[in-house]
Amino acid sequence: AQKITQTQPGMFVQEKEAVTLDCTYDTSDPSYGLFWYKQPSSGEMIFLIYQGSYDQQNATEGRYSLNFQKARKSANLVISASQLGDSAMYFCAMTLTGTASKLTFGTGTRLQVTL
Amino acid sequence: DTAVSQTPKYLVTQMGNDKSIKCEQNLGHDTMYWYKQDSKKFLKIMFSYNNKELIINETVPNRFSPKSPDKAHLNLHINSLELGDSAVYFCASSQLQGGEQYFGPGTRLTVT
């Protein structure tokens, strides 16, 4: 069974600074996908970024990048140049590929961007 | 233009009632899901359908019954509602099993 651990319940960052949200995962399956989702106070779940276990390069999407360290089983999200609109809950999740897929979520990190 | 839509957005009902939540996606995806987010914000899979066929059924009480009339729709019917069913229910869809999932806006269910 897969497991996701997010050890930071809350984080603060100043506007325009970069922030790293931690995520570690556990699975014995070699083929999996890692995801980050953003949940603002309005409640919707917004897909941010995806990393496949066989991808050689770290995924990037605009200001979001995923720092994938396979040996350490970590998939940290880096947000560059934080904006006030980045204040939200952030969830790390994973799924096993090639099977009946389900997202297993971590407990989330609440990010607050300050002036 | 909404990719994954759910109705209703809010649902307040009394214990013992039966209610349904509807989900529709216009992304042409083959796989749809129901997730439950509890009061501590923890998200957990409930069900998954691939092309109208049930492929994931997590440990969910029998009072919850999903139905997929076609691959664009996945509804959730809940019988004999209990206080503990109060949560936000999210529908999601993905093109590939294991691919990124796109979520609906959620349905906040409150059982009184």
DSSP letters for A19-72:
EEE--EEE-S-S-EEEEEEEE-TT---EEEEEEETT-SS--EETTEEEEEETTT
Kindly determine whether residue B100 and residue A47, on different chains, have CB atoms separated by under 8 Å: yes
Q: Which of A29, A45, A53 to mutate to test the interface with B (most CBs of B within 10 A)?
A: A45
Chain B CB contacts of A33 under 8 Å are 98-100
Cβ pair A88, A68 in contact under 8 A: no
Task: Mark yes or no for CB contact B90/A45 under 8 Å.
Answer: yes
How far is Cα of residue B55 from the mean position of the Cα atoms in its chain? 14
| Residue range B78-105, pLDDT digits in tens | 999 999 999 999 999 998 777 889 999 9
- The mean-pLDDT minimum among A97-106, B11-20, B74-83, B102-111 falls in A97-106
pLDDT band at B58 (very low <50, low <70, confident <90, very high): confident
The answer, yes or no, to whether residue B111 has pLDDT greater than 80, is yes
* pLDDT at position B2 over 90: no
What is the model's pLDDT at position A91? 98
pLDDT at A17 over 80: yes
Confidence of residue B1 (pLDDT cuts 50, 70, 90): low
The C-alpha atoms of residue B19 and residue B64 are separated, in whole angstroms, by: 10
The pLDDT tens digits of the residues spanning A88-115 come to 999 999 998 766 678 999 999 999 999 9
